[in-house]
């Protein structure tokens, strides 16, 4: 069994560098659910009521939850490589219609509100994800439609007649209000009004899509919204009967062989991440057997396609230590259980218990909080953070009372406010950087400084030593090796915050494991380099055409399919220096842009050969791209008889970036060549404005970044030259 036991060694997860790239709407605030219950919080709905002014000609009809009304969405979804139509329905709708029988065109439709927390589809996993990650319905439980004009009502009223209508009005979803026109039919009788109207909206316009979970699910931007409304006739002055408690339909669980077969696989391979406090618990909790049974189909799906457990290397990759992927037998066991109905032969409330501890924390010799105190982001008067995504650097001092430097055997980032801390990158900065740090820290009143991608320090000698994202184990160096921090040097930690609705004070700390005197005796410094290679992904011909048309028709439109315009934008966003980076990468690898900017369909590919920089035994390999990343490959001595693939990631996932520890001892010298190849798929992210993608720090920029760390021969001075 491929157990998580292996993770405790932790060498695997030296995440050498985890750089940037998050688009707010698909940023899964991974820890949010720790603080919020699993199920819908707001179960009812209510809407403004209308009143009858003229008994003779007016009749009041009321839409109330569960009277047969529904609101549904339908969107084309690509789930695990298969196209299907995802449909979700909420029956929790309210609204009033005031019909004027003498002149139908005077009919008034009041506010129609729908509880979007109650959207129910054929996948409880989809419902959960939609509720919490996209609609954020715990914060915005209602969508509403305020009709401003009605077209198509015939002037002559007859009971039971069906009219073709269209309703134009303001649709509010989450925080966006926009005009939409729904069309369909309506039938009016003395007892009830029935209507069905629909329209196609763009999910991007309301910041609720397109949904993109790398390797798992993508949706189209266009979503069909349908209101199937039944409004029952009510007496004048009738109180709204709307705020009914409604439960989501229970998922029926049948019987099935669970305890002897599936439970051990889950407890061994999944539960440690998916129980309270674990990194996957916010998305899916496996606290009890019931939790697993209600999403049995989804468990089969995510394990069959290798989405879970999250292990990216595949294809031609060599064997790595601590491979926590499932064996074929384990996958088959789960599939067989699901094919049999995915039921339980234990009580549903049977606790699932992790049989292995995923991550063993470091026993701290030093706990170093941010030197200048907890960081609380800037907020407006109501306390709402001014920014969603923010990158902040802070100093963490390394105590060194003897003044002779510190050998580290390991280190760990310990997040404080887990609901907002998205990931972190840890750097070492020399004493000489202190004046620069003082200067840039003074740019605003808050502790630390704004930094993006890297540490933003220009003093030479700043380099990254690790990083953290939910689920990643602490860094631990192998026997005989360590990392030396000279006296006076400090740690600079860059935290990527994803703020939601409150400005929380964050006091995340760096925990250090110092080498004992015994360990320090004969210790060798670990060595490593990062390799920065081009990222050039032009627009597709279709995108070029869209951008050209906008350029021709929209005043001051900047055509970002033109590379120079993107470089200008980078200058404005960052600085002059940032504009040289893309060209510098090309220069480094030889040739011209034309050698790198090929596009095959929506896929771009850059390949670059470089000399290896550090001799020794390869310890870890890492590849890094942003969210357009599609696949990655690192090959030692390509096109020679000794060619050896060091890392192959056929299906990239920004969420899971690890440094992988090779099982085989592979020696590398400075005479060796390494080929770094990155593929990007423009279709992975929705770009409202098409743009040429090139190397930089932003969410819409890309990187092809690689790192190799080595164990030098004992006593060889190791050079650690990862870029900071
Ligand atoms: C190393 C920690 C870890 C392990 C081990 C792990 N998961 Fe996960 N899982 C996560 C995290 C984190 C997420 C949310 C991240 C994401 O959606 O990309 C997640 C997401 C999921 C999802 C939701 C998918 C979605 O995005 O809608 C399912 C289902 C799931 N895991 C099942 C499993 C199963 C079954 C196993 C064991 C076979 C497993 N996981 C093992 C961490 C883990």
Closest residue to atom 31 of ligand 1, CA basis: 308
Substitution site in 27, 309, 498, 657 for ligand 1 pocket (most atoms within 8 Å of beta carbon): 309
Q: Which of 1-10, 154-163, 409-418, 708-717 has the highest mean pLDDT?
A: 409-418
Substitution site in 284, 303, 358 for ligand 1 pocket (most atoms within 8 Å of beta carbon): 284
For residues 605 and 677, is the Cβ–Cβ distance under 8 A?
Answer: yes
Q: Which of 326-330, 464-468, 627-631 has the lowest mean pLDDT?
A: 464-468
Q: Is 606 left (phi over 0), alpha (psi -120 to 50) or beta?
A: beta
Q: Which of 177-191, 361-375, 692-706 has the lowest mean pLDDT?
A: 692-706
Q: Does pLDDT of 353 surpass 80?
A: yes
Q: State how far the alpha carbon of 38 is from the alpha carbons of 25, 27, 321, 343, 369, in Å.
A: 20, 19, 35, 21, 32
Q: Tell me what the mean pLDDT of segment 507-531 comes to.
A: 92
Substitution site in 295, 310, 330 for ligand 1 pocket (most atoms within 8 Å of beta carbon): 310
Distance (Å) from CA 183 to ligand 1 centroid:
41
Closest residue to atom 30 of ligand 1, CA basis: 308
Check if 273 has its Cβ closer than 6 Å to any atom of ligand 1: yes
Q: Tell me what the mean pLDDT of segment 77-88 comes to.
A: 86
For residues 223 and 73, is the Cβ–Cβ distance under 8 A?
Answer: yes
Check if 280 has its Cβ closer than 6 Å to any atom of ligand 1: yes
Distance (Å) from CA 115 to ligand 1 centroid:
28
Distance CA 437, CA 350 (A): 54
pLDDT in tens, 162-180: 889 999 999 999 889 999 9
Check if 303 has its Cβ closer than 6 Å to any atom of ligand 1: yes
Exposure b/e, 682-692, CB count within 10 A at least 16 = b: bbbbbbeebbb
Q: Tell me what the mean pLDDT of segment 284-291 comes to.
A: 91
Distance (Å) from CA 418 to ligand 1 centroid:
17
Token code pair at residue 370:
């941010």
Q: Tell me what the mean pLDDT of segment 128-155 comes to.
A: 81
Q: Does pLDDT of 432 surpass 90?
A: yes
Check if 212 has its Cβ closer than 6 Å to any atom of ligand 1: no
For residues 667 and 616, is the Cβ–Cβ distance under 8 A?
Answer: yes
Task: Using the atom order of ligand 1, give the atom closest to the CA of residue 125.
Answer: 27
Burial environment of residue 493 by CB neighbours within 10 A (0 to 12, 13 to 18, 19 or more) = buried
Check if 213 has its Cβ closer than 6 Å to any atom of ligand 1: yes
Distance (Å) from CA 141 to ligand 1 centroid:
26
* pLDDT: which is higher, 234 or 550: 550
Token code pair at residue 551:
């350029």
pLDDT in tens, 226-265: 999 999 998 876 665 544 445 555 556 777 899 999 999 9
Q: What is the pLDDT of residue 675?
A: 98
Substitution site in 280, 293, 294 for ligand 1 pocket (most atoms within 8 Å of beta carbon): 280
Check if 306 has its Cβ closer than 6 Å to any atom of ligand 1: no
Distance (Å) from CA 334 to ligand 1 centroid:
15
The neighbour count for residue 383, using CB atoms within 10 Å, is 9
Q: Tell me what the mean pLDDT of segment 380-398 comes to.
A: 89
Distance (Å) from CA 314 to ligand 1 centroid:
18
Q: Which of 104-108, 423-427, 450-454, 519-523 has the highest mean pLDDT?
A: 519-523
Check if 270 has its Cβ closer than 6 Å to any atom of ligand 1: yes
Distance (Å) from CA 280 to ligand 1 centroid:
5
Check if 471 has its Cβ closer than 6 Å to any atom of ligand 1: yes
Distance (Å) from CA 656 to ligand 1 centroid:
11
The neighbour count for residue 518, using CB atoms within 10 Å, is 8
Closest residue to atom 15 of ligand 1, CA basis: 280
* Residue 351 confidence class, pLDDT cut points 50, 70, 90: very high
Distance CA 292, CA 36 (A): 19
Distance of CA 309 to the CA centre of its chain: 16
Check if 299 has its Cβ closer than 6 Å to any atom of ligand 1: yes
pLDDT in tens, 681-714: 998 888 889 999 999 877 688 989 888 989 998 8
Distance (Å) from CA 374 to ligand 1 centroid:
31
Check if 530 has its Cβ closer than 6 Å to any atom of ligand 1: no
Distance CA 609, CA 196 (A): 61
Q: Does pLDDT of 339 surpass 50?
A: yes
Distance (Å) from CA 262 to ligand 1 centroid:
16
Closest residue to atom 3 of ligand 1, CA basis: 273
- Find, among 70, 98, 112, 65, the residue nearest to 229 by Cα: 70
């Amino acid at each position: 069994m491929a157990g998580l036991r292996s993770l405790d060694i932790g060498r695997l997860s030296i995440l050498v560098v985890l750089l940037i790239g998050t688009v707010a709407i698909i940023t899964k605030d991974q820890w949010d659910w720790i603080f919020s219950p699993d199920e819908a919080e707001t179960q009812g709905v209510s809407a403004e009521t209308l009143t009858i002014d003229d008994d003779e000609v007016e009749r009041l009809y009321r839409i109330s939850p569960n009277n047969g009304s529904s609101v549904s969405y339908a969107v084309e979804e690509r789930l695990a490589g298969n196209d299907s139509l995802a449909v979700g329905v909420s029956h929790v709708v309210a609204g009033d219609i005031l019909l004027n029988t003498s002149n139908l065109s005077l009919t008034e439709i009041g506010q129609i509100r729908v509880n979007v927390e109650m959207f129910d589809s054929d996948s409880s996993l989809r419902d959960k994800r939609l509720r919490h990650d996209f609609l954020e319905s715990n914060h915005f439980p209602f969508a509403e439609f305020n009709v401003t004009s009605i077209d198509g009502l015939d002037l002559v009223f007859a009971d039971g007649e069906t009219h073709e209508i269209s309703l134009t009005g303001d649709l509010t979803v989450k925080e966006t209000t926009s005009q939409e026109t729904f069309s369909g039919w309506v039938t009016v009788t003395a007892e009830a009004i029935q209507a069905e109207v629909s329209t196609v909206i763009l999910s991007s316009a309301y910041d609720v899509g397109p949904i993109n979970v790398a390797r798992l699910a993508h949706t189209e931007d266009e979503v069909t919204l349908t209101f199937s409304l039944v409004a029952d006739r009510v007496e004048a002055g009738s109180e709204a009967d709307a705020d009914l408690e409604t439960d989501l339909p229970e998922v029926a669980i049948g019987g099935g062989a669970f305890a002897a077969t599936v439970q051990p696989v889950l407890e061994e391979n999944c539960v440690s991440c998916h129980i309270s406090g674990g990194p996957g618990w916010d998305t899916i909790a496996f606290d009890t057997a019931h939790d697993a049974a209600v999403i049995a189909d989804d468990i089969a799906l995510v394990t069959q396609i290798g989405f879970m457990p999250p292990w990216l290397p595949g294809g031609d990759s060599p064997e790595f230590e601590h491979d926590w992927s499932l064996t074929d037998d384990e996958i088959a066991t789960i599939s067989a259980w699901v094919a049999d109905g995915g039921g339980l032969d234990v009580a549903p409330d049977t606790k699932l218990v992790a049989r292995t501890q995923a991550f063993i924390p470091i026993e701290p010799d030093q706990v170093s909080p941010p030197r200048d105190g907890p960081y609380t982001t800037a907020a407006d008067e109501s306390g709402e953070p001014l920014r969603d995504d923010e990158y902040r650097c802070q100093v963490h001092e390394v105590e060194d009372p003897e003044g002779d430097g510190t050998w580290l055997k390991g280190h760990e980032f310990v997040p404080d406010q887990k609901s907002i801390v998205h990931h972190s990158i840890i750097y070492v900065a020399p004493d000489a950087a202190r004046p620069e740090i003082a200067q840039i820290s003074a740019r605003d009143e808050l502790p630390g400084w704004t930094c993006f991608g890297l540490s933003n320090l220009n003093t030479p000698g700043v380099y990254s030593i690790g990083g953290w994202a939910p689920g990643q184990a602490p860094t631990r160096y192998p026997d005989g090796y360590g990392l030396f921090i000279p006296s006076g040097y400090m740690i600079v930690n860059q935290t990527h915050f994803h703020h939601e609705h409150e400005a929380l004070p964050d006091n995340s700390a760096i925990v250090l494991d110092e080498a004992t005197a015994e360990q320090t005796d004969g210790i060798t410094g670990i060595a490593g380099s990062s390799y920065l290679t081009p990222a050039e992904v032009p627009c597709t011909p279709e995108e070029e055409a869209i951008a050209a048309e906008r350029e021709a028709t929209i005043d001051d439109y900047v055509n970002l399919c033109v590379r120079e315009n993107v470089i200008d934008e980078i200058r404005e966003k960052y600085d002059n220096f940032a504009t040289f980076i893309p060209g510098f990468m090309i220069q480094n690898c030889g040739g011209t842009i034309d050698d790198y900017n090929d596009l095959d369909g929506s896929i771009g590919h850059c390949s670059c050969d470089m000399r290896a920089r550090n001799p020794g035994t390869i310890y870890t390999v890492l590849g890094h791209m942003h969210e357009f990343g599609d696949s990655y490959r690192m090959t030692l001595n390509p096109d020679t008889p000794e060619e050896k693939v060091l890392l192959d990631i056929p299906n990239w996932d920004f969420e899971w970036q690890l440094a992988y520890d090779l099982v085989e001892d592979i020696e590398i010298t400075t005479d060796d060549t390494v080929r770094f190849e990155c593929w990007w798929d423009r279709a992975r992210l929705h770009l409202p404005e098409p743009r040429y993608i090139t190397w930089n720090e932003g969410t819409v920029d890309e990187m092809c970044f690689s790192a190799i760390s080595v164990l030098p021969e004992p006593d060889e001075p190791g050079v650690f030259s990862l870029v900071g």
